[in-house]
Structure 1
Amino acid sequence: MIDPRSHAVDPAWVDTRNAAVSADPAARVAGNAVATTDVEKLTVDRRVIASIDTSVSDLIPDAIVTDQKRSGRCCAFAGLNVLRASLIEELTVDSLELSQNFIYFHDKLEKAAAFLHRAVDDAERPLSDREVVETLREPISDGGWWPEFARLVSKYGMVPHAAMPDTHSATDSDAMNAHLATVLRRAALRLRAAVAAGADPEPVRSAAMEDVHRLLAIHLGTPPTEFMWQYRDKDKVFHRVGTLTPREFAERYAAGLEEFVVVAHDPRPEIPVNTRFGIERTDLMVGEPTQEHVTAALDVLKAAAIAAIQDGEPVWFACDVAKQREKKSGVWDAALHDYEGLYGVELSMTKAERLVARESALTHAMCLTGVDLLDNAPRRWRVENSWGDKLGEKGFHTMNDSWFDEYVYQVVVRASRLPDEVRAALEVEPVMLPSWDPMF
């Protein structure tokens, strides 16, 4: 056993290291620079920036860029941006926006129901249990995943943005989420007490759901049960379709959602390709399956994404958005920032190492709407984000293919775009991963 005293920080060692750094000209220059300038600006490799042309060979026409503002609703934004592309083409309009707030309201309601259901199931597990602690730590988040989004649209439908526009809390969700979390944590303790006393927990659960609904209605508004659907096309011709329910609107304009599947590049050596996985405790809608994905080689993800783009269909994808980016110009490249050159310290890790060490995670969802192909190989990708039109090229960003290799983890495509061996895996029962798996 190692004597812990041998690993303690020795003040004499600190003095020696301080003197060494002070005597190092490169460290002094770096320290002077970092003292007055943001590291992200200092480390950008301008050669990479200068080498990037934002044009692409295959492009889905741009639509009006959306803005999730101070909320974590990227899943809904990216999902609706996928669905609206076919509407824009079918209706021959310049652009349109679907209501993210409508999806958001029902997502919160379903997540609350799932939390309370789980609180009853977990009632006899100790509060110190790892999974119970994690559930109570974040009872209801903004974030989401494609299967959850698709099930919400199938169950509740969707509406144009004007039928349920954003409220302040939809665009700045911290206060709402904090109060919803309090309602849910309070209910969880009372549910545990009811189970411990041998009482029926249902009155506690149903009362908590009513409280959640009331808070959501106050913060986000009450979703419409029907709306008048009308629009003007590119030729300035006015169309009044008539009164539709949200489900009728979705059935008319979002058919075929069941054809889409999540394809993941999981670089960990112990994770086989062409395998269907589920993740425990990710059933965020009561009665629905957990979040699932099928693994595939990286070139499979790219080929399926290219085929979708060439057919005019945006591709929902999940990535680690903040790595190796220049946010204002909207550029991503695997070698964009030279942190090692600034610090003189090795920082490189493989994609698998970053994932297992929690250095990297699936933090954001966006859409691929273009790709630049040279000899049938992708050089760069055009990305539709949901951060407004002040970043990148009026809200559209450019991802070099090197960044796709390192920081893209999932794409959502129709199963028909996948090779036989990947589609075959979809017919097999999923291998379940623990709730703390880094792919969730």
Structure 2
Amino acid sequence: MVQIDNEDLKQVRSEFLDTPKYRNTQNAVMKNGIKKSITNQSEINSHPFVFSIDVDSNKVLNQKQSGRCWDFSGLNFIRYHIEKEHHIKDMELSPSYVYFYDKLEKGNYFYQNIINTADRPLSDRLVNWLLTTPQQDGGDWPLLTNLIEKYGLVPNELMPETKPAWNTTEINRMYNRKLDKDAMKLRDLVNNNASDTKIKSVIRQLNQENYRVLSICFGTPPEKFTYEYRDKNKKYHTTGEVTPLEFYKKFADINLDDYVELMNLPGGGYKYNQTYGIELCNNVVGGKNIRYLNVPMHDMRRMVIDQLKDDEPVWFACDVLQEWNNPAGLLSLKVYDWKRSFGISLGKDKATRVQYRESMPTHAMLICGVDLHDNEPTKWKVQNSWGDKPGHKGYFIMDNSWMDQYTYNTVVNKKYLTDTERAAYEKAEINLPYWTAMLSD
């Protein structure tokens, strides 16, 4: 056992006070904060907001104080296709509509897992994990496609944002308290040998209550509507009366089954050209599970560039708060000078960071461009969903070295996979445990 020695502290204090550069850093940090004081301005200046391939410059949306990045970025991907197909500018799809059904389905998915584990004690690790967070805001690409393929989409004006959607802390706390109480009821039913008919009847009642709660918070999803618009040439169009699912199938010319999710995680026992899943990571009972094809970063970049060259943006998940300067909208390993300012180096290799929970995919955005020099990428254009104040009217610059270290997942059309990669993706997946750090927030 090692204790801190007072004599050691005297020496450390003396050395610190005798080192001018640390005293200068101290003065700056105490007055202005850490990141503002150690920002490397020359690194910011060396990344102009210009890209040799530039796909999308849509108006940036704002998820505000919510964990709906996967929802916003996925809808940004789909609206790009809608705008391109129908010659519309700055169309918005409703994130609240998708979020409503995500909450509803996650509640029902939680009930199913509670029933499946009702014979285990409350102290069981899995039961404890389920009850600690019955549901949350985060998601992934397959979870988004589950919702869209079941419920469709609606324009934003038909189900606009609400205060509970802008800050989801209140709804999550209330909803999780309700789901935990429901779990107690369901566990009692199972352990008292209630019939399947009785259990299903109770779950229907609980889901009806959930629908009411979510409607009060986010509005009631429309069953049918008519979408009218004028294209860029001022020509009038109408869909006629459609359901949300008909609107998606008729209006969004995109087959979500054509897209696969890639993962880059080197080392740590993860094999390349191997597909991975995650236990209990779904939102819809019977829906598609997460499937990641683990590939080297140079192959991931190759497919992303191919898709951008074909005039299509790319959904991706990363650890956005690592080495990130919000005012400049820059993601760069050199944007903060930790070594010179504090005398320390931060970070580990990519796989070790994940194993030690230092880093994981925490945020989803859209790659909308890339700057190529001698056919090699140097920086990437990123559309965020934090409004138009940060960065370049809401767009960020991600340099290539940052992408290597902190980008974990991308979604690309499977036509960009080689025959070997496609064969690997089709093989049975290895399921990672439910507590894995690869589970996106």
User: TM-score if structure 2 supplies the norm length?
Assistant: 0.95
SS class of match (2:286): coil
User: 2 CA distance for matches of 1:354 and 1:113?
Assistant: 34
Indicate the residue corresponding to 2:298 in structure 1: 299
Match of 1:131 in 2: 126
Asked if 2 retains the 8 angstrom alpha-carbon contact of 1:415 and 1:423, the reply is: yes
Residue 350, structure 1, aligned to residue 345, structure 2? no
CA distance in 1, matches of 2:344, 2:59: 43
Aligned twin of 1:77: 72
Cross-structure match for 1:231: 229
Following superposition, the deviation at residue 262 of structure 1 comes to: 0.4
Q: CA deviation at 1:333?
A: 0.9
Checking the alignment, whether the CA contact within 8 Å between 1:116 and 1:188 is kept in structure 2 is yes
Letter of the 1:66 counterpart? L
Q: For 2:335 and 2:175, locate their aligned partners in 1 and report how far apart those are by CA, in whole Å.
A: 40
Tell me if the contact between 1:369 and 1:383 (Cα under 8 Å) persists in the aligned partners.
yes
* Counterpart check, 1:17 vs 2:12: yes
Q: Secondary structure at the match of 1:241?
A: strand
CA distance in 2, matches of 1:412, 1:45: 32
State which drifts further: 44-53 or 20-29.
20-29
Q: Quick one: which of 144, 148, 153 aligns to 2:143?
A: 148
1:182 and 1:239 map into 2 onto residues whose CA distance is: 46
How far, CA to CA, are the matches of 1:150 and 1:289 in structure 2? 8
More moved, 140-149 vs 122-131? 122-131
Q: Unaligned regions of 5+ residues in structure 2, if any?
A: none
Task: Give the drift of 1:408.
Answer: 0.4
The separation in 1 between residues aligned to 2:287 and 2:243, in whole angstroms, is: 23
The AA in structure 1 aligned to 2:222 is: P
**Secondary structure at 2:426 match in 1:** coil
Unaligned runs of 5+ in 1: 1-5
Shift of 1:388: 0.8
Shift of 1:358: 0.7
Number of matched residues? 435
* In 2: Cα distance, 1:33 partner to 1:15 partner: 24
Q: Distance in 2 between matches of 1:284 and 1:86?
A: 25
Letter in 1 for 2:129: E
Contact 1:70 1:172 in 2 (8 A): yes
1:205 to 185, 203, 206: 203
Please tell me whether residue 30 in structure 1 is matched to residue 25 in structure 2: yes
Q: For 1:381 and 1:366, how far apart are their aligned partners in 2? A: 12
**8 Å CA contact 2:263, 2:410 repeated in 1:** yes
Q: Deviations over 1:166-216 (max 9, x none)?
A: 111111111111111011011112222222222344444333222211110
Which of 241, 244, 248 is the aligned partner of 2:242?
244
Identify the residue that residue 102 of structure 2 maps to in structure 1.
107
- Give the AA of the match of 2:172: N
Asked if 1:188 is matched to 2:186, the reply is no
CA distance in 1 between partners of 2:123 and 2:19 (Å): 48
Partner AA of 2:185 in structure 1: R
Structure 1 partner of 2:2? 7
- How far off its partner does 1:256 sit? 0.9
Whole-angstrom distance in 1 between the partners of 2:289 and 2:328: 37
2:216 to 194, 203, 218: 218
In structure 2, the residue matched to 1:3 is none
Q: CA, structure 1 residues 16+192, in 2 after alignment: closer, same or farther (shift >3 Å)?
A: farther
Judge conservation of contact 2:81–2:254 (CA < 8 Å) in 1. no
Provide the C-alpha distance between the structure 2 equivalents of 1:285 and 1:254, rounded to a whole number of angstroms. Answer: 24
Paired position in structure 1 for 2:395:
396
**Which secondary structure does the structure 2 equivalent of 1:7 belong to?**
coil
Q: In structure 1, what residue type is equivalent to 2:121?
A: P
User: How far apart are 1:110 and its partner, in Å?
Assistant: 0.8
The more displaced of 86-95 and 217-226 is: 86-95
Correspondence for 2:282: 283
Superposition pairs of residues 156-195 of structure 1, within 5 angstroms? 156-195=151-190
Q: Distance in 2 between matches of 1:172 and 1:76?
A: 15
- The letter for the 1-side match of 2:411 is V
Structure 1 residue 254: Cα displacement: 4.5
Q: Does the 8 Å contact 1:183/1:211 carry over to 2? A: no
Aligned to 1:438: 437
**Pairwise CA distance, 1:403:** 1.0
The one-letter amino acid of 2:220's match is T
Identity %: 36
Moved more, 240-249 or 17-26: 17-26
1:8 offset after TM fit, Å? 3.0
Q: TM-score, normalised by structure 1?
A: 0.95
Distance 1:20 1:41 in 2: 25
Name the SS of the counterpart of 2:104 in structure 1. Answer: helix
Could you tell me whether the CA contact under 8 Å between 1:103 and 1:158 is conserved in 2?
yes
**CA distance in 2 between partners of 1:377 and 1:313 (Å):** 19
Tell me, what secondary structure is at the counterpart of 1:345? coil
Q: Give me the whole-angstrom Cα distance separating, in 1, the residues matched to 2:3 and 2:191.
A: 46
Question: Using the alignment, how far apart are the partners of 1:282 and 1:178 within structure 2?
Answer: 20
CA distance in 2, matches of 1:288, 1:277: 17
Opposite residue 292 of structure 2, the aligned amino acid is H
How far apart, in 1, do the equivalents of 2:202 and 2:272 lie? 44
The Cα shift of 1:95 comes to 2.0
1:302, 1:367 → 2: CA distance? 14
